[in-house]
Amino acid sequence: MKITLTLNGSKVTHDVEPRETLADFVRDRCGLTATHLGCEHGACGACTVVLDGEVTRACLMLAVMCDGRTVETLEGFRNHPAMEVIRKHFHECHGLQCGFCTPGMLLMARDILARKPGCDADTVRYELSGQICRCTGYSGIVKSIVSAGQELAGKAPAKA
């Protein structure tokens, strides 16, 4: 089946199998490898993308369901001002380690801060409950998001 969608601001058309996931589509057909495949059951969040403005699990979404829709992967936020702040704080607050979960964490961090600007650590922990990291213990990730939120809200971020 032929589908056309807007991927990171560009129209993309490909033939896909009816059972092909959005995660496989963006990785294999479009070469956008920041969308990682972890559990392939929607539990880990490594495949997080933004679909029509909402974060979603690309491993649970069929590519054919995205025909005519807008998909953004981490690569699409390369020059996004808020994402630059979030990436800076992930670096400064040691919010990443092996990097496997990082793309999903970054997209989720952006979503959290867009919906709940200036939120506290407890809110961040709750909002991240669907994202799995096996390396960091989450404290650096939570601190990164809280600090980025403070900077984006115009407050002085906590010291790293």
What are the pLDDT digits (tens) for 69-106? Answer: 999 999 999 999 999 999 999 999 999 989 999 999 99
Domain map (residue ranges) of the chain: 2-76, 81-152
Supply the mean pLDDT for the chain.
95
Q: What is the pTM of this model?
A: 0.93
Look at residue 115 in the predicted model and tell me its pLDDT: 96
- Domain 2-76, what fold? Ubiquitin-like (UB roll) (3.10.20)
What is the DSSP code (8-state) at residue 156?
Answer: P
Give every strand in the sheet of 10-15, ordered side by side: 10-15, 2-7, 70-72, 48-51, 54-57
Q: Output the CA torsion sign for 82, 87, 90, 92.
A: negative
Look at residue 17 in the predicted model and tell me its pLDDT: 96
pLDDT at residue 108 is higher than 50: yes
Look at residue 160 in the predicted model and tell me its pLDDT: 46
- Domain 81-152, what fold? DNA polymerase; domain 1 (1.10.150)
- In degrees and rounded to multiples of 5, residue 6 shows phi and psi of -95, 115
pLDDT at residue 27 is higher than 90: yes
